[in-house]
Amino acid sequence: MKRVATAVLAFVLCVTGSEILSAENESLVGTWRITSFTVLYLDTNESVQAQGPNPTGYLQYSPGGHMTVFLAAGGRKPPVGNAPSDAEAAAYLRSIIGAYAARYTVEGNKVVHHVLTAWTPAIDGTDQVRYFEIAGKTLTIKTAPIKSPRNGRDVVSTLTFERVE
């Protein structure tokens, strides 16, 4: 009888714990399409669309605590030949806003991406802190102040997404 009671208690604790995790992450879970990307330079208070006015890409959060993101500048052209030239490949790499896979945790309006692998090894194994707000089908994410990988300046990036599922 004690074994049955222990097993039932363990099951209840597991189910309750996963329900709490699911409820906490539920608002982010889904697939989101980027609609805008701006960078605020903290030294000058200048705000720019660093990758142009029409970024492309998706952000996806799973109910189990994994996420993936691929974001790039809009209007990228395919290579002239079958494979990109070195110059084309370099331009493609510079047009990436972000691309990585991670586990994530949510605390209130803060989501932390625990990066497993990324387009740049500089962020492999790091924690990327983001602050989010959801209004209807719109997700707005701001980075904590970070050093821009493009020019080393202190920036806060703001990304806006539309829920697609």
- Using CB atoms within 10 Å of the CB of residue 61, give its burial: 0 to 12 exposed, 13 to 18 middle, 19+ buried: buried
Q: Are 161 and 37 in contact (CB under 8 A)?
A: no
Degrees (nearest 5) of the Cα angle 24, 30, 35? 115
The predicted pLDDT at position 24 comes to 46
Establish if 135 belongs to a structural domain: yes
The predicted pLDDT at position 25 comes to 57
What residue numbers bound the domain in which 32 lies? 28-163
> What's the number of domains the chain is made of?
1
CATH code for position 77: 2.40.128.280
> Per-block average pLDDT, block size 10, for the chain (165 residues)?
39 38 69 97 94 94 97 92 93 92 97 96 95 97 89 94 97
Establish if 3 belongs to a structural domain: no
Establish if 7 belongs to a structural domain: no
pTM of the model: 0.81
What string of DSSP letters covers 12-76? Answer: HHHHHHHHHHHHHHTTT-EEEEEEEEEEEETTTTEEE-TT-S--EEEEEE-TTSEEEEEEE-TTP
Establish if 16 belongs to a structural domain: no
Q: How far, in Å, CA of 118 to CA of 121, rounded?
A: 6
Establish if 32 belongs to a structural domain: yes
